[in-house]
Structure 1
C-alpha cells in the first residue's frame, strides 16, 4: 500500500518526464538504502487490484498513456542515453524453419559483457550474499519506475514520489543486456535483499505487472538458479516481442483441475516437457496454484522456468535439470512420460 506522503502527491500527466532525483546518500545515486532512503524521488506507477478477475473487461478509467506505452518510452530513453551494452534493434533475428519456428537472435559478445555468475549452479536455493553483485548496486539511471499497489483502485503515475525511510520499493529497471525491445527487470522489495526464490507475494506482483501491460506481446518470465538465472537477487524478466512464441502455439492436454477451477495441461509435441496453468475464479487463484508448484520445485532442488503469457491468463512452467557443462538443462520430450507425469501429479497435489 502507498504511504500517506505518496497519497498526497498529485497524480501527474503521462506526458511529463520520468527518471529520478538522486538523494544525498553515497553520491553514486544507486538503489541501495544509502541513496533510496535519503531523499530519492522516483517515477511511481500505481497498479489497480480491483480487476483481479482475468476475464473482466478493461476498466474504463485508465491512465491517458498506458503502462506499457510509458514503459517502452522510458526504455527507449535509456537507449538514447547509451545505457545498454548493445543495440538489440541492430541484432539479426530469424525465425527458424520447421515445426516449431523457434526464434533466434544473434547478439555478438553478450556472454562476454554480461556480469559473471557468482554462485554455485548445482543448488536452486542459496542464501543472499551482499558481497556479490545485487541490484542495489545499479544506478538510478537504470530504473524505469517503481511499481506499487494503488491506494484508491485507480491506476496511474506519480511524478518524483518520495521513498519513505521504512519502505522497500518494487523496482522496474532496464536489463542492460537486452534480448528484446523493452527488456526489463521487476525486482520485488529491493531493499529486503531477497534471494532468487519464488514466494507467493512476489509471484502475484509479477502477475499484476504482466496484466497491467494489457498486451499479449509483453511477457514476463522467471528463471530459477540452475536454469539460466545469473544473479541471486529476486527478479523477474519482462520484454516485448511482436510474435507468438513456439511454446504458446504448442498443443496441450488437460490432465487435472485443481483449486478453484485452475486447469493444468501438459505440453504436447514440444521438445521440452512442461505444464500450462489457466483458469480459476480470479488471478489470485491462478497465481497461488502456480507459485505453490514453484515453491515445491525449488525446495526439491529442481530448477525451472516460468513464462507469464496472454496478460497472465496462461502460465507455462517448464521443469529443467541442473545445468552442467556437458548438457542442456532442458528435460527432453523423449524422457519417460510416465516418470514425468508422476512427478507433475505430485507437484499439482502440493500446489
Structure 2
C-alpha cells in the first residue's frame, strides 16, 4: 500500500478546536496503526498507566509507561556520531512485513527536489510511547546511518503538514543523542495535550534562526508558515544539524505545530510548524534522573517515565535541572558559531 500526496494537500493552519478532525493522511495512518494493534504486531499493547502535569511554569507532561522500559527492542551500542551503518546489526531492512504501514510518495517533484535512491516507508514502532507512534524511514534501502539529510528532513516536515491534527509530532535523535538504531529514521506520534513549546516566546538570532532561552533546555528554533518556503526552512535546519554533526556534538530535533513567532492570533490557533534543535551532551554520559531518558520527547517537555516510584515524586525543579545540565554547556559552546553562520547567510 502507498500514500500519495502533493503540495496541495499541505495544511498550514489548524487549531485545538479542530483536534478531532482528520485529514486523509491521518485516517490512513491511524487506521493502519490500529489494525496493527488489533493484530498484535507490537511488542506490547500501549498502556499509559498515568498522565499528569508537573506543577510549575513549564507545564511538563509526565506519562508513566513501564513497558517502554522493559519490553522494547534492546538498543544498539552507539559510541560515536560517525559510527558507520553496519549491515550485520539490526536495521530496518530486517523488520517484519507486518510492521509496514505504507510507502509514502510525493505526486510531483518539490522545489529543488533531491533525488531519492530508495523507498520512503512509514512503519509502526513496535515499542510505542503514544498513540500512532510510527517510524518514518526515508530511502530505507540506501541503508544510511542515523545522520539527518536534507531530503529526510524535508519529507518529515511534509508529513506533519499532511495532518489536520495539532497533535501530530515528529522528532529525530542523533547518534549519542539517544538514537537506539543506527539507520536513518524519524519518530512520528500523536500527543493529545497542549504543550508550552507550541507558543513559548523565542528571540530572533539571525536569518531564519531563533533561540529558545526562556526554557531549561536552551536551543535553537525555526518556523514554517504559509508565507515561508519549506525548502529554505529545511535547508536552514539541516545547515545547523550538519554543523553539529561535523563538530561531534549530539543533537535532538523536534517538529510540532505551533504559533508563528510573535503571533497575535488566538492561542489555540496554530499557524506554523515549529522546529527545535538542541545541542546536547552525549547520552553515554551519566544522568541524574534515572526514571526517564532525556531524548527528543523529554527536551520538548513530554516525559516518558518508565519507573512507577519516581513518577509519583517527580518535580519540575528536578526535570528542569536535568534538561539544563544536558543542554546549557553545548548551547553556550556553539552559540557564537551558530550566530555567525546565520548572520553571514542573512547578509548574502
TM-score range, shorter chain: 0.7 to 0.9
Which sits farther off after the overlay, 302-311 or 225-234?
302-311
Distance 1:47 1:256, change over 3 A: same
Q: Tell me the distance in 1 between the aligned counterparts of 2:62 and 2:119.
A: 35
Structure 1 position 255 matched with structure 2 position 255: no
Which sits farther off after the overlay, 141-150 or 78-87?
78-87
Distance 1:73 1:229, change over 3 A: same
Per-residue deviation, 1:277: 0.5
Contact 1:47/1:208 (<8 A) preserved? no
Structure 1 position 47 matched with structure 2 position 5: yes
Distance 1:296 1:54, change over 3 A: farther
State which of 272, 275, 284 in structure 2 corresponds to 1:315.
275
Aligned counterpart, 2:106: 149
Consecutive unaligned residues in structure 1, runs of 5 or more: 1-42, 56-63, 154-165
Over 6 Å off, 4+ runs: none
Aligned counterpart, 1:223: 173
For residues 159-202 of structure 1, give each alpha carbon's deviation from its aligned partner in whole angstroms, at most 9, with x where no partner exists: xxxxxxx9721110000111110000000111111110011111
Per-residue deviation, 1:339: 4.5
Aligned counterpart, 1:70: 28
Alignment of 1:1-351 (within 5 A): 43-50=1-8, 66-121=24-79, 123-151=80-108, 168-257=118-207, 262=208, 264-279=209-224, 281-310=228-257, 313-327=273-287, 330-332=323-325, 335=329, 339=333, 341-348=335-342
Per-residue deviation, 1:341: 2.9
Per-residue deviation, 1:287: 0.8
Greater share of helix: 2
Distance 1:226 1:244, change over 3 A: same
The aligned length equals 284
Distance 1:105 1:152, change over 3 A: same
Q: Tell me the distance in 1 between the aligned counterparts of 2:287 and 2:53.
A: 24
Per-residue deviation, 1:288: 0.9
Q: Tell me the distance in 1 between the aligned counterparts of 2:138 and 2:103.
A: 10
For residues 81-101 of structure 1, give each alpha carbon's deviation from its aligned partner in whole angstroms, at most 9, with x where no partner exists: 112223324432222111112
Higher relative contact order (CA 8 A, sep 6+): 2
Per-residue deviation, 1:319: 1.2
Give SS of 1:128's match.
Answer: coil
Cα RMSD after superposing both structures: 2.9
Q: Tell me the distance in 1 between the aligned counterparts of 2:234 and 2:109.
A: 23
Contact 1:252/1:265 (<8 A) preserved? yes
Aligned counterpart, 1:9: none
Q: TM-score, normalised by structure 2?
A: 0.74
Contact 1:219/1:307 (<8 A) preserved? yes
Per-residue deviation, 1:226: 0.8
Give SS of 1:88's match.
Answer: coil
Distance 1:346 1:322, change over 3 A: farther
Per-residue deviation, 1:72: 0.8
Consecutive unaligned residues in structure 2, runs of 5 or more: 14-21, 111-115, 259-271, 289-293, 295-322
